[in-house]
Amino acid sequence: MTSLDITFLATGAVTIAAALLAVTTRQLVHSALWLVLSLGGLAGCYLVLGAELVALVQVLVYVGAVVVLVIFALMLTRAPIGPSAEHSTSRLHRALAAVLGAGVSALLLAVLLPLAGREAVARTPVDSSALAGDLFGTWVWPFEAISLLLLSALIGAFSVSRLAGGQTGGPS
Amino acid sequence: MSALELILRAASSLAMLLVLPLLVGQTEHKVMAHMQGRLGPMYAGAYHGWAQLVADGVKFVQKEDLVPAAADKRVFRLAPMLAMVPYLLALAAIPLHPGYAAVEAPASLVFVMAATSIGVLGTLMAGWASANKYALIGALRSAAQLLAYELPMILAVASVALAAGTLSLGGIVEAWSPWWLLWQLPGAFVFLTAAVAELQRPPFDMPIADSEIVFGPYTEYTGLRFALFLLSEYAGIVLFSLLFAVLFLGGWRGPLDDWLGWAWTFGKGFLIALILIWLRVSWPRLREDQLQRLAWLWLIPIALLQLAITAVGVVL
């Protein structure tokens, strides 16, 4: 085992453990905080594999913006300290969610494990300009489609909040 | 890179984090005092109170470390470190002299932005875990503010990266020319404003407005943990001042920069820090809706305009 292997395993283990804790903890805000660790761990995995820019953007977008937004929304609504019983689901739901999660993981593993091979983790540095070339050349259509999807979601959210505001009582 | 060099680099960036904020803090004490017709600290350390902040530090260490009974204890204890460490990481990537930065990364600009964006989490965790209504309100305000000002800042920074054609801070300084002072002026204005807002300093100190919500997210903190929050605020001033100097004022560029490059960087950074102190003394606090309006209706359009101007300049 090379040191790169060990680093990759360690960051991977942190990512998986934090992800499991994020979905199993009974405390809402803790769940969001474990998500931070999990996404940060994923950035660490990218970094070990040499994709520096992807790792940094992962931290900038997911940790710095998305999770902060999630925590902000939690604090705006209700986020008591300590376990919150009213957000807990029934045993049956939990068992079903576990089966579904395990099923999806098994499916993904069945596809990905044969591709992984047995050789050591290799560090292949990715050049920023090569990445930009791929993103805005080869993959430009999916990229634009995602931006359209996000835009329509944004407009949808606006219209929903406007309509709801109109029913409850005039414009603020 | 040998182990010795690694340790030396880490130690020097830690020393920067521990010394420069104190320097800025002492300057703030004195400059603010003189602007307000006072003397400021005069006794600690005998000569014009130079050791005032050292004495403050000693005082903070001696204070009892209290955790409120209703608080989420682990998150409460973790928050100050999380507020502090990102600035340490970001400071390490700032180039000080031709070829000298504690950490040299090809995408160091993105690295600095990513590191500073984590700092919000510390404030949010502090506000939520304190189990105090003032802390929670402060954390909400600070999250709303930081999210609103993150976007114009990133856009202004992107404009500089576009102009230089590189994501490396060292490369940006290499590509800088005095003509940028005019070309990137709107971006510089947006960046400076957004930096003051990110630091939550007056006039953008709604999240910690002491006359309304005690001390916002940091209300329940005492002793060393409180000092860590203060230190991270001043480390933030150092970071954003140096970053402004590197991005918009050409960092180490200047006469005799082969020898005096580091002095140019620090000198320009110190000038920006003085401006930040000056802003604090001269502006009243902005209300929450004024803050949001400034960010979304003024700074973001200006930053987008700057991006367009830069793109035209690059293509021509």
Per-10-residue mean pLDDT, chain A, length 172: 83 90 83 88 87 85 82 76 72 88 91 76 76 85 91 90 62 46
- Quote the tokens at residue B23: 């320097």
Per-residue pLDDT, A165: 58
Q: How far is A56 from chain B (nearest CA, A)?
A: 6
pLDDT tens-digit profile of B188-237?
A: 999 999 999 888 888 888 888 778 888 888 888 888 888 888 888 888 89
C-alpha–C-alpha distance, residues A119 and B277, integer Å: 56
For residue A62, the distance in angstroms to the closest alpha carbon of chain B comes to: 10
Tokens in use for A19? 């992800």
ipTM of the modeled complex: 0.78
pLDDT digits (tens, 9 = 90+) for B258-286: 788 888 888 989 999 999 989 888 888 88
Per-residue pLDDT, A166: 55
User: Within 10 Å of residue B245's Cβ, how many Cβ atoms?
Assistant: 24
The C-alpha atoms of residue B45 and residue B41 are separated, in whole angstroms, by 10
Q: In 10 A of CB A106, how many CB atoms?
A: 10
Chain A positions with Cβ closer than 8 Å to B: 27, 29-30, 33, 36, 52-53, 56-57, 59-60, 63-65, 67-69, 71-72, 75-76, 79, 81-82, 128
What Å distances lie between residue B214 and B225, B280, B305, CA to CA? Answer: 17, 18, 39
Among A75, A77, A78, the residue to mutate for chain B (most B Cβ within 10 A): A75
Specify the DSSP element, H or E, that contains B257.
Answer: helix B257-282
| Residue range B68-117, pLDDT digits in tens | 887 788 888 888 888 888 888 888 888 887 777 777 777 888 888 888 88
> For residue B117, which residues of chain A lie inside 8 Å, CB to CB?
59-60, 63-65, 68
What does A29-80 look like in DSSP terms, one character per residue? HHHHHHHHHHHHHHHHHHHHTT-HHHHHHHIIIIIIIIHHHHHHHHHHS---
Mean pLDDT of chain B: 85
Q: How many domains does chain B have?
A: 1
Alpha-carbon distance of B126 to B80, in angstroms, equals: 7
- Indicate the pTM of the whole model: 0.85
- Burial code (b: 16+ CB inside 10 Å, e: under 16) for A80-95 equals ebeeeeeeeeeeeeee
Are B147 and A33 inside 8 Å of each other by CB?
no
Domain hosting B79: range is 3-315
- Rounded distance, CA A113 to CA A66, Å? 30
- CB count within 10 Å of CB B12 equals 14
pLDDT in tens, B154-176: 999 999 988 888 888 888 888 88
